[in-house]
């Protein structure tokens, strides 16, 4: 098994010059892939541990995956996108955050935690064409950059998504939202769907447990709405960190101030990575989170990671007539009365989402 230093070298060998940066005096570069906006000296890496400066050029990862799988679209989670469809999910290694409660730490923290490699974090060579062909062979309708933070590998995602869109596939990011205006403009022509993790509404929590700040994530959410990405927001409810009624209310009210039509997913934490000392999120806390979202005026609030334990809060309900349009249990769609026009068949209320693949 390769050591971490060998793993770093393997990733460097799969890197090519990027697009999201500016050259600075003295062979330094400034990266624009995430809100850290790292100024990187020659021979050094950014906070993400994968974007690095080689001879005054910003080198970025390409031509490998750290993980790949076919998932239900509901697992991403996108619940207002092609219900029951499949997504080819691919990811790389590295992250601009270092969340101590990370649920995908094997890939995201591969270059910070030697245990990641022992658990199987390792790059496998692949071309963009091969990934798209795999999606088509598996009858997927969506391709998703996920598992690690897609922002830091945006050049590679765009390479893939340019091909995917020509093949009539939807494309998506599952992201922490720590973006810049520059990276959002770069990916906008090629990314249809964007899931944001709004992990807390407390800047100190972001600094202490996550490795960032709150403001860029709030800015990203507002920009995604203005730029007409389809967006869904997830809050992993972590006991003792972000589960107070006040903080959940602050999150829900912020989302509602952007748009009451944004789906908000409140999902249960399970002990993992460096927070195995915590308890699982209770059904009662998730149900309270759902109620807080509805009280804030959000039309679509969903419970996650507790399939079948949270009543009907996994379902899509028409805000006009209160009829259940899509019934789910976990990632499985049990019933779908919503057609590709996205209109409630009972009262003609338009349900926001992506219910068909648009003509390109």
Q: What is the pLDDT of residues 72-120, one digit of tens each?
A: 999 999 999 999 999 999 999 999 999 999 988 888 888 887 666 556 6
pLDDT band at 359 (very low <50, low <70, confident <90, very high): confident
Query: What CA–CA distance (Å, rounded) separates 154 from 173?
Result: 10
For residue 96 the two structure tokens come to 């601009």
What angle is formed at CA 83 by the lines to CA 80 and CA 89, rounded to 5 degrees?
A: 90
* Residue pLDDT, tens place only, 37-50: 999 999 999 999 99
The pLDDT-based confidence of 3 (bands split at 50, 70, 90) is very low
Q: Which residue, among 305, 332, 184, 315, has the nearest Cα to 235 in the 3D structure?
A: 305
Q: For domain 64-336, which CATH number applies: 3.30.420.40, 3.40.50.10420, 3.20.20.70, 3.40.640.10?
A: 3.20.20.70
Number of neighbouring beta carbons within 10 Å of residue 130: 12
**φ/ψ (deg, to 5) at 351:** -100, 120
Q: List the Cα angle 176/150/250 in 5-degree steps.
A: 10
Q: Is the pLDDT of residue 4 over 50?
A: no
Domain boundaries, the chain: 4-61, 64-336
Mean pLDDT, range 181-208, rounded to an integer: 98
Rounded to an integer, the average pLDDT of 119-145 is 93
Q: Please tell me the least confidently modeled range out of 36-50, 229-243, 267-281.
A: 267-281
Question: Quick check: 360 pLDDT over 70?
Answer: yes
Model pLDDT for residues 141-167, shown as the tens digit of each residue: 999 999 999 999 999 999 999 999 999
Mean pLDDT of 254-264: 98
Report the chain's mean pLDDT, rounded to a whole number.
94
Q: Burial level of 205, CB count in 10 A (0-12/13-18/19+)?
A: middle
Count of Cβ atoms closer than 10 Å to residue 225 Cβ: 14
Residue 53 DSSP label: E
Which of 186-200, 219-233, 270-284, 325-339 has the weakest average pLDDT? 270-284
Least trusted range by pLDDT, from 108-112, 120-124, 170-174, 327-331: 120-124
Question: Do the strands 193-197 and 230-237 form a parallel or antiparallel pair, or are they unpaired?
Answer: parallel
Q: How far apart are the first and last CA of the chain?
A: 45
Of 307 and 85, the structure prediction assigns the larger pLDDT to: 85
Cβ(224)–Cβ(196) below 8 Å? yes
């Amino acid at each position: 098994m390769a050591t971490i230093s060998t793993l770093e070298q393997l990733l460097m060998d799969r890197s090519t010059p990027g697009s999201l940066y500016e050259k600075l005096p003295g062979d330094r570069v400034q990266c624009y892939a995430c809100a850290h906006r790292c100024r990187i000296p020659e021979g050094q890496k950014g906070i993400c541990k994968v974007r690095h400066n080689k001879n005054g050029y910003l080198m970025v990862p390409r031509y490998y995956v750290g993980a790949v799988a076919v998932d239900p679209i509901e697992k991403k989670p996108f619940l207002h996108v092609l219900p029951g469809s499949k997504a080819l999910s691919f990811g790389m290694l590295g992250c601009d955050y270092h969340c101590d409660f990370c649920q995908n730490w094997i890939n995201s923290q591969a270059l910070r935690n030697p245990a990641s490699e022992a658990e199987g974090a390792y790059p496998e060579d692949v071309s963009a064409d091969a990934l798209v062909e795999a999606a088509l062979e598996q009858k997927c309708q969506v391709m998703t950059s996920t598992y690690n933070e897609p922002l830091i590998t945006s050049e590679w995602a765009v390479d893939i998504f340019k091909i995917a869109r020509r093949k009539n596939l939807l494309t998506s990011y599952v992201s922490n939202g720590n973006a810049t205006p520059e990276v959002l403009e770069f990916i906008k022509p090629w990314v249809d769907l964007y899931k944001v993790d709004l992990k807390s509404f407390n800047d100190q929590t972001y600094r202490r447990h996550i490795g960032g700040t709150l403001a860029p994530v709030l800015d990203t959410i507002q920009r995604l709405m203005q730029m007409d990405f389809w967006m869904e927001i997830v809050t992993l409810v972590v006991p003792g960190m972000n589960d107070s009624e006040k903080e959940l209310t602050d999150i829900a009210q912020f989302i509602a101030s952007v748009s009451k039509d944004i789906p908000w997913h409140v999902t249960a934490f399970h002990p993992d990575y460096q927070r195995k000392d915590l308890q699982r999120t209770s059904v009662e806390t998730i149900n309270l989170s759902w109620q807080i979202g509805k009280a804030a005026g959000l039309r679509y609030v969903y419970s996650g990671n507790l399939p079948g334990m949270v009543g009907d809060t996994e379902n899509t309900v028409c805000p006009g007539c209160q009829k259940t349009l899509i019934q789910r249990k976990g990632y499985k769609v049990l019933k779908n009365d919503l057609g590709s026009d996205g209109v409630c068949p009972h009262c003609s209320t338009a349900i926001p989402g992506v219910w068909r693949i648009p003509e390109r």
